[in-house]
């Protein structure tokens, strides 16, 4: 129960903020984002401990205490102007109308993707080793994960032969085996030990609930699956519009999405962020913008037993790096 002091301030909050506080989405629909967004707004009125108390009371599902505290601490840094650039544009909202048009009109579906892949992917054997050799030539440090919290960072050669046993990989070479997180803890996977951005990976976060529901229903009636929709959006993002990056790899998550790997070495975040903004507007998860974010291991094995099959592989574009027109 909120203390008397908190209660008296709560009654004076702007209506929008009160509504935000009361509208924690259901689990799996952006609770993490809600924590941060709401904490950021509440910093104007409450102390960190008070915000943690308020968020905990309004959560729609159980969350780890550390996740809540991290969200509040990080939001505080943004609130005080200690992080981020004020000129940086916020991520755009999903443009459902545009997405719908793209998905419905796309000439490429899942069944067609392998046929336009420059490399024949019909073999049943995992090709993770070959693919990682193309993605990360030499012997750079790579971070692999069996789960989000069980990860290790070692040189490429250490992993040889067992790559496909893993679910996750950080899509950029690491700079050291262990780094320090923003709250001072040691970690094998954090921004501090992740090297420069070599790939932008996009994953379209389309679910059958919420705002997506009517569109997904419409697609289903037309015989279009969520994976087909993912492919349509990947094609749109990499073949049309600006900025545009070549498509190097398309990896099935083993669930209901596809990960698109686009090489970008040599390009700055300033040049690349508008690309990610396009992706987010088309429904991509902005989480993959974080350099140390795990993505699905190409041809790896998901914990549900599904193979994270590669449906498109263009090794030539990796040699090109972020080569410009």
**Kind and range of the H or E run holding 94:** none
Residue 62 or 93 having the CB closest to other proteins: 93
Pick from 29, 88, 28, 76: nearest CA to 52:
76
> From CA 253, how far away is CA 203, in angstroms rounded?
9
Q: Which of 1, 90, 93, 123 binds other proteins (CB under 8 A)?
A: 93
Tell me if 109 sits within 8 A of 228, measured CB to CB. Answer: yes
Q: What is the β-pairing status of strands 249-252 and 295-296?
A: unpaired
Q: Reading across the β-sheet that carries 150-155, which strands appear in turn?
A: 150-155, 141-147, 168-169, 295-296
Give, as ranges, the residues between 258 and 277 that touch other proteins (CB under 8 A).
264, 267, 271, 274-275, 277
Place of tokens 């997180």: 181
Give, as ranges, the residues between 197 and 236 that touch other proteins (CB under 8 A).
235-236
> From CA 103, how far away is CA 235, in angstroms rounded?
10
Residue 77 or 244 having the CB closest to other proteins: 244
Tell me if 114 sits within 8 A of 311, measured CB to CB. Answer: yes
Taking the complex as a whole, the smallest distance from the CB of residue 85 to other proteins amounts, in Å, to 13
Taking the complex as a whole, the smallest distance from the CB of residue 37 to other proteins amounts, in Å, to 12
Residue 255 or 274 having the CB closest to other proteins: 274
Taking the complex as a whole, the smallest distance from the CB of residue 31 to other proteins amounts, in Å, to 18
Regarding 95 and contact with other proteins (CB under 8 A), the answer is: yes
Please give the DSSP secondary-structure letter assigned to residue 299. Answer: T
Residue 22 or 325 having the CB closest to other proteins: 325
Q: Which residues pair with 296 in a beta bridge?
A: 168
Q: Which of 241, 255, 290, 306 binds other proteins (CB under 8 A)?
A: 241
Total residues in contact with other proteins, by rule CB under 8 A? 43
Give, as ranges, the residues between 36 and 65 that touch other proteins (CB under 8 A).
none
Q: Which of 44, 66, 101, 162 binds other proteins (CB under 8 A)?
A: 101
**Kind and range of the H or E run holding 311:** strand 310-313
The footprint of other proteins (CB under 8 A) covers: 16, 19, 89, 93, 95, 97-98, 101, 107-108, 112, 115-116, 118, 235-236, 238-247, 264, 267, 271, 274-275, 277-278, 281, 312, 314, 316-317, 320, 322-325
């Amino acid at each position: 129960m909120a203390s008397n002091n908190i209660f008296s301030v709560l009654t004076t909050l702007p209506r929008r903020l009160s509504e935000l506080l009361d509208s924690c989405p259901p689990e799996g629909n952006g609770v993490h984002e809600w924590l941060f967004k709401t904490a950021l707004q509440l910093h104007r009125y409450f102390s960190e401990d008070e915000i943690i108390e308020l968020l905990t009371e309004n959560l729609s599902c159980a969350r780890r205490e550390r996740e809540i505290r991290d969200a509040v601490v990080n939001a505080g840094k943004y609130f005080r102007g200690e992080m981020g650039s004020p000129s940086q544009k916020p991520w755009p909202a999903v443009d459902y109308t545009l997405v719908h048009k793209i998905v419905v009109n796309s000439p490429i579906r899942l069944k067609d993707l392998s046929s336009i892949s420059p490399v024949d992917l019909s073999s049943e054997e995992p090709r993770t080793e070959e693919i990682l050799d193309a993605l990360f030539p030499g012997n750079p440090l790579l971070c692999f994960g069996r789960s989000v919290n069980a990860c290790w960072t070692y040189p490429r050669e250490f992993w040889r032969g067992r790559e496909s046993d893993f679910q996750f990989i950080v899509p950029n070479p690491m700079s050291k085996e262990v780094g320090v997180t923003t709250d001072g803890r040691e970690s094998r996977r954090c921004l501090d030990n992740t090297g420069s951005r070599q790939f932008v990976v996009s994953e379209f976060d389309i679910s059958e609930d919420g705002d997506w529901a009517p569109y997904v229903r419409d697609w289903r009636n037309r015989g279009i699956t969520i994976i087909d929709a993912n492919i349509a959006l990947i094609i749109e993002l990499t073949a049309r519009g600006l900025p545009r990056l070549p498509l190097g790899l398309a990896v099935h998550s083993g669930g209901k999405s596809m990960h698109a790997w686009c090489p970008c070495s040599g390009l700055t975040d300033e040049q690349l962020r508008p690309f990610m903004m396009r992706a987010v507007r088309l429904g991509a998860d902005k989480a993959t913008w974080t350099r140390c974010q795990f993505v699905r291991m190409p041809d790896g094995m998901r914990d549900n037993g599904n193979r994270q099959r590669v449906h498109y592989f263009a090794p030539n574009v990796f040699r090109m790096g972020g080569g410009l027109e």
